[in-house]
Chains A and B, each alone.
Chain A
């Protein structure tokens, strides 16, 4: 009450003041002799050339990472490089822009012709992909600041059951799909919005994000690289590229002697044992499953796409225009009392309601198409995953699964052949006592 009175008295005073000037007209600035009008200062943003420094640092770090992982096979080198990357891209550059987020800039540039992606961001997007195509995920090993911080925290890794690992491993593809939808529609860059570590890099940010980041790090103590394995949408791009890579880290420097010493060495569950010979019956069953899956997958994709159309409305909820329309509608029909900042802002523009509703409807349409594509995409990912697990593969040695291995080099040291290479032991027989029968076989 008192507050209202005060405001009223203030307003009355103002009205007196403004009376002469008229409500809309501007008061003119008094001319005062000998007084020059100051000008406000506008500090320049960070200079563009520094962007290219970032790209140069990225290129050098990538090159170093490849060299350390594949040529030097140095875990310590990779570890130090990871710390360096964390310091530069994480704490100095404060996490923006990164390869993971750049996906959205690229998508937005594709969908919105008025937005152009700068060459530096493009380089952040493309360089790690190219490097991965040839050398495996060396970017993840020691260049990505998000990977690096998790790498440092992987202290007590436990093995995630294979079925769970496989299932959770699908999440990055779903996240990627959603991020693409929201970037393409100009809604928001959700990868950046929900980046769990960037708050640490800046040592500030909303409390929720700091808590989320802390959770990821604590989980990361026991489950190695949880973000990389079960969320990172850029990892979802890197995985298939890494599978194609020409040169990829090998656990033994030369030949694997199947000593099993590295079996549990990988904190990220990327080491696969040699395959056992399948019986003819098993092989036949697998082949039937494969044929069935191949025949079924188009149906799955089509069905999921059809179902995905229904996602239009829920998906569009994140779009500010859609939110606003919903709120204004509720206010108009009297289903809610009062207004929000957003609806106040809308009313103050004088824009007609019908126009807003029409825009929201158009958005629903767009998001229905997006939902259809998203549904199809998720089904496709699942189908490919199923087909992939049913493909016949033959491994004769313990090997790093190219898709999931992040080339961190932790497993090298476990291999006796590596210890021979390093000159730590004379020959592998010091560590491995091979039973005579085995020796005969090999």
Chain B
């Protein structure tokens, strides 16, 4: 009986020791990591538009039924081309706004007439975000001209999966984790165009 009791005590003591060491190790480890990356912000996913090849996976691989990726227009870079290859399916002869002439499968690229210059009508091209499915067709079309359209993860929709499902499927490895305070990435030339306007 006494031997049993002794063994019990020994076990308890040993357990206590291991536990203390374990707790200290855990605290130390967490402390070390916190110290090392304490300044680290939460990261979120974003597409580097200079790397993206508009493969179309963004529309289908997002865990959300309606992808969190949408096309974005950089108005400063858009040259209001006539016709806009991001708006029109250039394979069609006509240039009317009939759905079959539009490149966007959901009609999410909208245009508003601004003015006519030397016989050339100028439109501003917008993305109607609620209709955009992030397929990148307009981005691909626009790339023939200035490339002012580009794809971005929209953070009002993205649920910030710890592993973005599109990032795994992206053939060009265009997805990156970016700090939450700088949630969007711009094309280099879009950035330049915006800065030009800012300075002028």
Contact between B79 and A26, CB atoms less than 8 A apart: yes
| List of A residues within 8 angstroms of B115 by Cβ | 32-33, 35
Say yes or no: A45-B44 contact (C-beta < 8 A), given A30-B80, A94-B159. Answer: yes
Contact between B74 and A202, CB atoms less than 8 A apart: no
* Most chain A CB within a 10 A radius of its CB, from B42, B51, B184: B42
| List of A residues within 8 angstroms of B99 by Cβ | none
Say yes or no: A7-B91 contact (C-beta < 8 A), given A37-B197, A244-B18. Answer: yes
Say yes or no: A206-B165 contact (C-beta < 8 A), given A9-B91, A29-B79. Answer: yes
Say yes or no: A38-B75 contact (C-beta < 8 A), given A96-B161, A320-B173. Answer: yes
Provide the bound-state CA to CA distance between A156 and B170, in Å.
42
Interface status of B111 (Cβ within 8 A of chain A):
no
Provide the bound-state CA to CA distance between A206 and B168, in Å.
13
Size of the A side of the interface (Cβ < 8 Å), in residues, is: 79
Nearest residue in A to B174 (C-beta to C-beta)? A345
Contact between A105 and B162, CB atoms less than 8 A apart: yes
Say yes or no: A43-B73 contact (C-beta < 8 A), given A26-B189, A192-B162, A192-B163. Answer: no
Contact between A32 and B117, CB atoms less than 8 A apart: yes
Interface members, chain A 14-39 (any B CB < 8 Å): 14, 17-18, 26-30, 32-33, 35, 37-39
**Residue from the list B22, B40, B57 in contact with A133, Cβ < 8 A:** B22
Provide the bound-state CA to CA distance between A246 and B22, in Å.
12
Interface status of B144 (Cβ within 8 A of chain A):
yes
| List of B residues within 8 angstroms of A126 by Cβ | 26, 29-30
Smallest CB separation, B181 vs chain A (Å): 8
Nearest residue in B to A199 (C-beta to C-beta)? B63
Size of the B side of the interface (Cβ < 8 Å), in residues, is: 77
Contact between B117 and A51, CB atoms less than 8 A apart: no
Interface status of A295 (Cβ within 8 A of chain B):
no
- Secondary structure at the A interface, as helix, strand, loop or mixed, is helix
| List of B residues within 8 angstroms of A51 by Cβ | 42
Interface status of A57 (Cβ within 8 A of chain B):
no
| List of B residues within 8 angstroms of A251 by Cβ | none
**Residue from the list A18, A44, A48, A109 in contact with B42, Cβ < 8 A:** A48
Nearest residue in A to B183 (C-beta to C-beta)? A45
* Most chain B CB within a 10 A radius of its CB, from A7, A10, A205: A10
- Residue numbers of B with Cβ under 8 A of A are 15-16, 18-19, 22-23, 26-27, 29-30, 33-34, 36-44, 51, 53, 55, 57, 61, 63-65, 72-81, 83, 85, 89-93, 114-115, 117, 122, 124, 126, 144-146, 152, 154-156, 158-163, 165, 168, 171-173, 177, 180, 183-184, 189, 193, 197
- Residue numbers of A with Cβ under 8 A of B are 3, 6-7, 9-11, 13-14, 17-18, 26-30, 32-33, 35, 37-40, 42-46, 48, 51, 94, 96-98, 101-102, 104-106, 109-110, 115-122, 125-126, 129-130, 133-134, 188-190, 192-193, 198-199, 202, 204-206, 241, 244-246, 320-321, 340-342, 344-346, 348-349
Kindly list 16 other residue pairs between chains A and B, CB separation below 8 angstroms, not including A27-B79, A192-B161, A244-B18. A29-B76, A30-B122, A32-B122, A35-B114, A35-B124, A42-B152, A45-B156, A110-B33, A118-B40, A120-B42, A122-B34, A188-B168, A189-B163, A198-B63, A341-B57, A345-B173
